[in-house]
Structure 1
């Protein structure tokens, strides 16, 4: 079992929890911690950078919730990053906490980098210097991730790398052109790539490796290429696509040891290997194979001197993905029928006819009609990853008690049915007619907000697909890229792509998009993908948009109905939190929100 790195800060202190042990190391008393008495030894710097990890973990906490802003998942998660979101509404106004979390991470990273540089200048011991460089590189990576997310959502934002001296300095900052920020964070990652090791000890699992640096450096370049392409700067776009592909190719080298979990073996239809990546029982194996970067979560019985406990340090998958019958969850994340329709047939590798939403109380043969969304037979013979990701009418799962105990009592999901006999899964709030199986833990001992499952921020298939996207933009489909996508498809037991059918840039991009939707479902990617591809108007065309319909043919919500251009613009560029402008009038509001 690995050690979990978890951090409690007032200024900077650290708790390291070993999941094999009951007792925890006690953190340094933050009330006794002063800047003058800190950063005297390498251990101080290590504690400090773990504080940056905590701030970054907070910024990217519940990253899956962003999928609720796409067309593939329904979300009603409050606060992170949005509440009861419907496309076209005041989306940006509800994410001020994300802005604040970003700058908290940046402030802590700046504090570490500035002070560690001073330690490096005074250090003669080569081993200590190597470790200090590593710490500096980690802080640079986390700061780059924070700035990258900020410029993605808000465009030009305040940029600084010093330790702010007080409110006067903070309130004097102006917005910096995001191209300058992009250049600076890429330069930081150039440095971090030289400082951060290729591998880390198992006890340090959760700290960054060099593969994460190259992965995020490539991702920043890829997004910049997409933005340049949308702006019509095609030469710049091509330059960044090529640079992104080179970074992803670096991650794919054997020296980094990344491979698909279980070699990409699909498992069986009833027990797909893909599901093990998210079931809470195979975390170490996932790290050893395809995880590029993750944030750690603590598990049960984690209590600290400030009163923060499981709810702050554990994973929250059962709370958001589970039902009352599976860990006392609230179905705060649910798949949409548009996601289900993307799972392809094993027989042909192509799409099945779209599912037909039917209300079984008014359509007598709804549960037996061909292609009916409430007919269990409509879901047979599809990509194995669907079984590991989604539950539909007739699927079964073991009961999970509120304390996290997985019982032997098998429950059947049937939308709108919560009767105790036969044992139906209690799933109030499953408004779309589907619920997620992905992330529902299959091991006992972890209550809904006290799980140990780490949050995967980047996995190898994500890198492969970004590499294929960048390569396709530069040179069109290549044999190598076809091979990579076929390996991803094989984990769903799908046949290889027909290379004649996907031989041009446009069709091959569609194949990449398809695999990103399925492979990365509910991992927080889809929302950002459709924004960087400038696809929002295509997904929700006027005048009717694309209303969300349940399996019972109910309208769950209208999306972008009768939208105006400003509604789309607000999806691409968020509102600067008004409170920030009140505090600092030098920060101007984004135009779509004026």
Structure 2
């Protein structure tokens, strides 16, 4: 059974193998009689677990391609090195037809389970012999490993529903050869227990970069309860034998809100730079970028908003993040633009004058006379004036600038002008070479995650990638309280805090007049605030919102276009109900079922 390769291969030291970490036998593993003696041993093993589990979450922006505003044209190849994100490779990140292509993610997630179990099991054996001073630290290490295990199981059930549950180290194939899928509720309860143990044992604030705290454990526990509430409220018909329960939904919403409330109120956490918008340069300039932009650069490493973030080593460590390579183009260290904004995201950025949506952009080919100056034309830079500061921070449109860089040196400002890749251009009397990024097909490229300084290669970033942010907790708290009690004053205040970082005015009264109106306002903020962070597709599934976004089955489908008005991709054309169902739940990998006939298949994939 292929899964066993990932389950029984345990690597004691982080970085012991440089390729296929969970596919190889360890080369530097020590016997138990030589290890597991001191706090340092336990801590070193925990760091290995962090290193192995980090690549299961630190490129979640790919998942945004399954939504409507973010294009993923593939995944950057990483030479089979799990440290660089193998779990994401070969996945399908289009809005439709994606549920059958995540065999690697499934396998590596179970590798993460076994890695966490390895730490939990061996450090637990150390407890009876620990000194009074060592005991709290060892329990903390177990708490962190259980937090990581809970995160992995949360991801597994979010994608596949019922999954096998393994709570101990697997050493031979026979232990897993006949595994069956456990009902999602039981797996959920086990993950909640992991988060609860972690909350009890973790410090209020971790002194070390990248290590978890009580707030992280509460945030993930709250998030899992929020998802459980949604599955019970909106249903999950594709998950065989799951019976939605409205009472369970209400209880879970309340439990989620309670956890989020403690995170918000008990730990002194604040938004990055106190949630102030900062400065926003004039159109076409980027010397002064809003604070939201810097939240996604190493400037924000260690900031209180980052409730939990996975650290990266930077240049020369083989532990760098891949953000530049994925979000940028050739003009930026030969990057490949694997991900980019879709045209439709621009209309979601609201006016800082009215606090509501601006008139819709009009796609126009710039070859048409007046296209560059027509009011609301998508190729007229003035059409993007006075918008949410998060727009300038997140995307670039025609004539927006970024810093080019080659061979670790700056090449100066490069203007983005759609379809003019690497061409000479003169703007206001200054000569430039345009941004070379043929990976874009919408008329926009990302600024979010794009470094504005030279000195690091495309895969050598040292940004601590967030897997839980305070802004997300604000939004989840608002969603949970609204589901039970409708719009609440404290939740409205939290949304307005998030809007303030975009220099938007507070919500208009009509946005908080009802539960439905406030939910729409929450969804709007989730789209903008969490854009490109891997949340949208999971939101669409837990809300049963795919048909709302893409129209019902058997329709003409929905085109994605570019700023010129060209039709680029059509999704859900004549799609059957079964094809929609296959977007709500993922296919159990056939290879796993071939090796283990006890693994049943999710109904839409039979």
TM-score by length of 1: 0.91
Determine whether 1:54 maps to 2:51: yes
Check conservation: 1:297, 1:452, Cα contact below 8 A: yes
Aligned counterparts, 1:65-84, within 5 A: 65-78=62-75, 80=88, 83=91
**Which residue in 1 is equivalent to 2:13?**
13
Structure 1 stretches lacking a partner, 5+ long? 1-8, 17-28, 303-308
Give the CA deviation at 1:92: 2.1
**Which residue in 2 is equivalent to 1:294?**
309
**Which residue in 1 is equivalent to 2:83?**
none
Which residue of 437, 457, 464 maps to 1:447?
457
Distance 1:484 1:34 in 2: 51
Give the CA deviation at 1:498: 1.6
Check conservation: 1:65, 1:81, Cα contact below 8 A: no
Which residue of 87, 92, 102 maps to 2:109?
102
- Paired residue total: 554
Aligned counterparts, 1:372-521, within 5 A: 372-401=377-406, 403-407=407-411, 409-418=412-421, 419-422=423-426, 423-521=433-531
Other structure's SS at 1:55 match: helix
Determine whether 1:264 maps to 2:261: no
Which residue of 214, 217, 223 maps to 2:221?
217
Give the CA deviation at 1:10: 6.3
Check conservation: 2:397, 2:443, Cα contact below 8 A: yes
Deviation sequence 1:243-271 (CA, Å, 0-9, x none): 000000111124x2310111111012222
Check conservation: 2:402, 2:415, Cα contact below 8 A: yes
Check conservation: 2:348, 2:528, Cα contact below 8 A: yes
Structure 2 stretches lacking a partner, 5+ long? 1-8, 17-25, 76-85, 236-243, 282-288, 427-432
Distance 1:88 1:550 in 2: 19
Q: What is the root-mean-square deviation of aligned Cα atoms in Å?
A: 1.7
Distance 1:37 1:222 in 2: 44
> Using a 3 Å threshold, how does the CA distance of structure 1 residues 533 and 81 change in structure 2: closer, same or farther?
farther
> Using a 3 Å threshold, how does the CA distance of structure 1 residues 504 and 81 change in structure 2: closer, same or farther?
farther
**Which residue in 1 is equivalent to 2:286?**
none
**Which residue in 2 is equivalent to 1:369?**
374
**Which residue in 2 is equivalent to 1:323?**
329
**Which residue in 2 is equivalent to 1:87?**
95
Aligned counterparts, 1:312-351, within 5 A: 313-351=319-357
Give the CA deviation at 1:327: 2.4
Distance 1:261 1:564 in 2: 44
Give the CA deviation at 1:492: 0.5
Determine whether 1:283 maps to 2:300: yes
Give the CA deviation at 1:15: 7.1
Other structure's SS at 1:34 match: coil
Determine whether 1:119 maps to 2:122: no
> Using a 3 Å threshold, how does the CA distance of structure 1 residues 168 and 315 change in structure 2: closer, same or farther?
same
Deviation sequence 1:138-189 (CA, Å, 0-9, x none): 0110000000000000010110101113111111111000100001111121
Other structure's SS at 2:143 match: helix
Distance 2:359 2:556 in 1: 22
> Using a 3 Å threshold, how does the CA distance of structure 1 residues 509 and 572 change in structure 2: closer, same or farther?
same
